[in-house]
Chain A
């Protein structure tokens, strides 16, 4: 067996294929999470994955370890409960932008205030994928979606500012920059307090096509050309990805 496939021990291969559309980036994030677990050689019995509702929310069920697919927006409080009951566990939240920042946004605010030791991986496809492509809290200004046919007029959620306001760990990557994405998740898992990894992910079917991308590969090329890696910033610019510095850690 090549080293590149060892991470599969963290996944339930028997449940594949995943329910995601052809070209959806969720599978790439799922793999990166398993690869990060493998890199840290985590004990399966010491990791719990929690998801909320949405396409990304389906991810929890594919991990071959204890996982919970909970109610919409409630992945973070449920994860905090698990961590409180057994602080020896590595508790990972694996969910969508709508789930974590929309309906679950208030839980995120208070979890950062408490700095609960969790790793939150946000599949940020800038859309409500599962329900057909409505604007989400991360949809960019002027972007056409099902609910914003003339372009989105609302400023997207500044996730970075919110996470960093309470000095929690913030990293951003994309599904094109896979080695970097894995590094971000590894560093997040190593962080002693709350860590958040913002993953820019392609939803070709309910977002990409509507805004003019031909296929998933074209979206990945857009990420390649648009984002530059900067792992040394205090605060990332819009076109930067990286692991931001966290004061006092």
Chain B
């Protein structure tokens, strides 16, 4: 089973200055500047590094809570 994503990265493109700090702090390479724009993929583990180090308040990480289910039987 693929690793479940644990967070959603909300990027405010009006605030983001594409300084390239957050992609280098992300332990799962979930963030990247592509064609002059910051994009996020689905590998967020909700460590909050990007949000913490962003000098421009351009990132908010929202945790995703997964409900643990026990397989039937």
Chain A interface (Cβ within 8 Å of chain B)? Answer: 2, 4-5, 8, 11, 13, 16-18, 20-28, 31, 178, 215-217, 220
Contacts and interface: CB of A to CB of B under 8 A. Distances in A.
A5 B18 CA distance: 21
Interface residues of B, number: 22
12 contacts: A2-B61, A4-B48, A13-B57, A17-B14, A17-B15, A17-B17, A25-B55, A26-B55, A27-B55, A31-B55, A215-B19, A217-B20
B15 A16 contact: yes
A27 B21 contact: no
B57 A23 contact: no
B42 interface: no
B56 A217 contact: no
Main secondary structure of the interface of B (DSSP, over half): loop
B62 A217 contact: no
Lowest 5 CB-CB distances: which A-B pairs, in order?
A27-B55, A23-B19, A22-B19, A22-B17, A217-B24
B18 to A, nearest CB: 6
A2 B61 CA distance: 8
A16 B57 contact: yes
Interface string B56-73: 111011110000000000
B51 interface: yes
A35 to B, nearest CB: 10
A23 B33 CA distance: 14
A22 B18 contact: yes
B41 interface: no
A11 B57 CA distance: 10
A220 B21 contact: yes
